[in-house]
Chains A and B, each alone.
Chain A
């Protein structure tokens, strides 16, 4: 009996490992931005916090004003009505701003987890766009996004996900995103990602003392198509410290490792069936212990 049990446990362990062990998962290849990838460069040293971009964003995307003062448009954070916010960070008397919006990751977590591809990365521009017809409203994108960008229309009975789509209705016609169009200080610039990386490096080279020596989004979280340069550390501006690894890398590696070619599940299925067929032939082990009355 104890021999039986031991072999039984062994069998159980083998089955469990076969199904769940990610040990031999193969790392997926790192993705790069599309050749024609667009980008937005935000230069925090130039921003004066005028919030013109926020107003322009509302108008271009037909979003309601949001206020807790009833006097001004004053959203506290991104929300179902607000796709971008200029946030103020004050320390030791100096004031710094940072623009909060969708980062348009090169390898986004939200598109990786989206069940039916309602959030998808456009092959041409690399913009992370949203198609409500494919969205079931599961909100996995909200769980996944390290920047907490996708927002949900909680107040609606027919809710959608809301996030910056880089004014694709304007840029598809050759225009600029509303925020970049109106910025009076060229703190927000729209263009090709390659060109904007060069632009950022140029600005930093021209004034090395004025910037920290890092472009946030160049490689962070696998790289993003919204790039930040700043005089203070990005951590201080509330941005998450991400490695160079794209966020979906771990989960996709494990998931595809286990389910690669559906081999492991098919093998497990076959094994289970064969074990049961064998058991049917042998009869039950417990029968000797049962004394039928």
Chain B
């Protein structure tokens, strides 16, 4: 087995791609309409529910789905599990795309976007604002992610002059371990400079993913007590790691199906135990917190909120048990189903905190408008298109193709250097 990533090649403008392009086109025209007519005309948002689908899904869920890079980097670089290295690059790519498009979501959602540049002026910062910290962290992380991904984008593009400079002077090509000939060569080529950048790429998501939970701490009277807890930041952080792993599983399974590649089943299967551990950690904190705050009784009241809580908890518990029950030799379908459930659980948890268990008062209600959904679909379509185009043209996916004679030569000097 070789761990060298390669571009998949092939035509980009396929039929499904054209369909995605259409979905994006529709979304983009709604986005344009939003800038002409304002948020009232294009959304179901109101003074009671000032944040809706765009903030909850595109930003809060979107960045959590973008935690694949974070989760894999913890595993490979901090916990030193080199065997997972082939999963890093695709994870960083989905993270870079997810976070960048969350930024698009923010620009669409804020009312006075022309003032956004002032966020860069430290003299204007209100350091009490959790949202300010989240905004700054996310922007910094988008930059870090693209730098981390840049070696993959620069490899094999020898015409791109800066590449040589970056590789030779900074050891840049080892951003994600680069193209090691075996797992053990993952570190030696990596410059110290790069290690500190990677550490930043771990610090930033730790900060803003937990702070995304802190955002709702202020809503003491509005967020239901089953969800409002001082531990919101910890719960958001734990669940984003679980979602990050699930995205890696999901993406790996999907790209092996779509691009007809042998799946990384063996490697993914080894993730079963750590993922289950993360899920149990989440559930443990969740339940102990409710007991500690004396709210545990409320989960059995079987009202709207208790049912929601039970559903959410079940969605976390089920995949944890699934993964543990077949942790020895899981097949890809099993892992895929568990991964889907984890994603659903994390998404529901975030929707609960930001929308469903958020109650500003009786006179308000919110359900996303068709136009809001079209924009979200458009952003998702853009993300998928970018992913497909990049894995076809750049060496992102790898680690599964048996190294056949000659392919290293085919792929240029970088690999064998």
Contact = CB atoms under 8 A, between A and B. Distances in A.
Given A247-B218, A289-B83, A157 B38 contact: yes
Interface string A240-270: 1010000110111011101100000100110
A156 B112 CA distance: 10
B278 to A, nearest CB: 8
A78 B198 CA distance: 49
Interface string B103-122: 00000011111011011010
Nearest to A150: B47
Interface residues of A, number: 83
Contacts of B135: 115
Q: B interface, how many residues as a size bin?
A: 35 or more
B111 A269 contact: no
Contacts of B95: none
Contacts, number: 256
Contact of B115 (A17, A136, A254): A136
Given A8-B81, A287-B182, A269 B218 contact: no
Interface string A273-293: 101110111111111011111
A34 interface: no
A277 B115 contact: no
A16 B234 contact: yes
A144 interface: yes
Contacts of A265: 203, 207
A151 interface: yes
A162 to B, nearest CB: 10
Given A12-B74, A255-B133, A109 B274 contact: no
A248 B128 contact: yes
Interface of A: 5, 8-9, 11-13, 15-17, 19-22, 77-79, 109, 111-117, 132-140, 142-144, 146, 148, 150-160, 240, 242, 247-248, 250-252, 254-256, 258-259, 265, 268-269, 272-273, 275-277, 279-287, 289-293
9 nearest A-B residue pairs (beta carbon): A137-B111, A284-B82, A154-B40, A286-B83, A280-B187, A139-B50, A137-B112, A251-B217, A286-B82
Interface of B: 1-3, 35-41, 45-48, 50-51, 74, 77-85, 109-113, 115-116, 118-119, 121, 124-126, 128-133, 135, 181-184, 186-188, 190, 192, 195-196, 198-200, 202-203, 206-207, 210-211, 214-222, 230-231, 233-234, 237-238, 241, 273-274, 277-278, 281, 360-361, 363, 402-403
